[in-house]
Amino acid sequence: EATVEGWVKWDHFGNWMRFFDFGRMAHTMVIGNSLTRPSLSFELWDAKGEQRVSLVVPDILQAGHWYHIAAATGKSGVKLYLNGVLIATNAYTGSFASVKNGQHNYLGRNNWSSGSDGHRDFQGQMDGVRVWNVARTGEQICQMMFQRLAGQEPGLAGLWNFDNGTANDATPGQHHGQLKGNARIVAATLPDPQDLPRPHTEKV
């Protein structure tokens, strides 16, 4: 089981811009926008290179707006949340263990970029990226999406909050990242909970 979540804001929607892309080309679990559209996409490709999950929620994003995105995976299937609302599901019960590859654990980069022209690195901002070793519920996601975590919370396997000016992991696992290309850390203000739009679209 696993849950990946964080705050994401696209400046614009380039070709397959990723929030995260963990694994390698055709052996990976990813979230990003679909093609060049403001559509949210989740994909999981297993260790055999077979695409086991492809969820696309059309035209649900807007450039320049913060969104809280979460994907919970495991024995209860795939559940994709936007701003705490369940927007898409899939019955597949696999997770990172199905990928069996941790070659490239990217935030903001597409694992297909090195093998195909046209894919674009993410342009925008992200914050509070978390990886859990459990499939968190919608209630748990909503309860903690605005909370600043310390890194010691039960089930938390990775936390990149960028608060100290680095891409270091704040959990004891110390899965530290590196800033590459044009990536830099800047001050930003997340939306007020009362101003967060609540999507109503669900795609199965």
For 167-178, how does the pLDDT look when each residue is reduced to its tens digit (9 = 90+)? 999 999 999 999
Q: Is the pLDDT of residue 200 over 70?
A: no
Q: Return the residue matching tokens 């270091």.
A: 168
Instruction: Tell me the mean pLDDT in the region 63-89.
Output: 97
CA-angle at 28, arms to 175 and 167, nearest 5°: 25
What is d(CA 84, CA 95) in angstroms, rounded to the nearest whole number?
20
| One-letter identity of residue 199 | P
What is d(CA 50, CA 37) in angstroms, rounded to the nearest whole number?
24
Largest alpha-carbon pair distance within the chain? 44
Q: Is the pLDDT of residue 20 over 90?
A: yes
pLDDT-derived band of residue 118, with 50, 70 and 90 as boundaries? confident
What is d(CA 27, CA 59) in angstroms, rounded to the nearest whole number?
26
Q: Of 143, 168, 175, 171, which is closest to residue 155 (Cα–Cα)?
A: 171
- Average pLDDT, rounded, for the chain: 94
- The torsion angles phi and psi of 19, rounded to 5 degrees, stand at -75, -55
